[in-house]
Amino acid sequence: MRSARVLVPVVAALCAFAMSATTATAAPEPTAIPEVGLATPAEEAELQQQLAESKPVIATYKGEKINLADGWQGAQACSEVPSGEVYCYDTAEEADQALAEIAPALARGTSSGVASGEFGPMAYTDCHQGWVCLWEHSNFNGRRLQWSAKGTKKLGNWDFRDKASSGCVTRYQGGVLAYDARTALPDPYMTLAARYCYKFSTADYPTGGSFNDKVDYIEM
C-alpha cells in the first residue's frame, strides 16, 4: 500500500545515503517543489483509523506539563524525542542545547547541509540530521516543531494544523507524506523526500493555490 507514492522519497533517500558514504558533509541539491497527489479511498480509511487513535500531546515546558492543542504557552520550539516524550523551549537554540542531553545520538547529527542562500539560514542550522521539522513561516523561521520517531502525527494535537509553511526531512531514509484533511473528499498530499527542504507555497494544491498553511497531518 502506498508503494507508488513512497517511491519518490525512497529513491531520494537511497541516493542521499550513497552520497553520504563518500563524504560526511555531502548533500544532494535541494528541491523546493514537492510531488503532490490525492489519497485513495483505501489509504484514507487506514489513515483515518490511525488519526482516530491519536492521543493528546502533553509536553514539558519550563518544568510544567502543557497540552499543546491548547497552545504553546509562549514556547517557540517543541521536539518529540525517540522515547515519545515532548519538550518545548523558548528558543530553537535552547531546544538544541537541551537535546544534547535528552537525545545525544540525534543531537550529534550533522546539519542538513542545505545551503542558506537557497532557503534561508533556519533550514540548515535548526533541523539536524535524523529529524523531520516544520516551521510556521515560509523562510524556515517562527515556531519550530520536530519529530524523530515514525508515525502519523495529527497536527491539531500539536497546535500546528493549517499553520505549517516550510519543512525539512533530514533523515537519510524515509520521506514524509503531508496531508490536507477534507470531509467526504480525497485528501491531497505532498511527498517530502528524505534529505530535502521545502517551502510549501511552491507545492500546487489540486484545486488551486498552494499547500501553504494547509497541512493537517503527516505520515512519517
- Lowest-confidence region among 7-11, 77-81, 119-123: 7-11
Nearest to 192 by CA among 139, 133, 118, 107: 133
Under the banding of pLDDT at 50, 70 and 90, the label for residue 24 is very low
| pLDDT above 90: percentage of residues in the chain | 50
Per-residue pLDDT tens for 61-70? 999 999 999 9
List domains and CATH numbers for the chain. Answer: 3-20+27-219 (2.60.20.10)
Under the banding of pLDDT at 50, 70 and 90, the label for residue 163 is very high
Q: How far apart are CA 61 and CA 86, in angstroms?
A: 9
Mean pLDDT of 44-50: 84
| pLDDT at residue 2, rounded to an integer | 47
Residue 197 pLDDT exceeds 50: yes
Under the banding of pLDDT at 50, 70 and 90, the label for residue 15 is very low
Per-residue pLDDT tens for 91-141? 998 998 888 888 776 655 544 444 333 444 445 557 888 899 999 998 888
Report which residue type is found at 158. Answer: W
Cβ atoms 118, 30 nearer than 8 A? yes
In the structure grid, which three cell numbers stand for residue 105, read together? 545520538
User: Which residues on adjacent β-strands are paired with residue 60?
Assistant: 65, 87
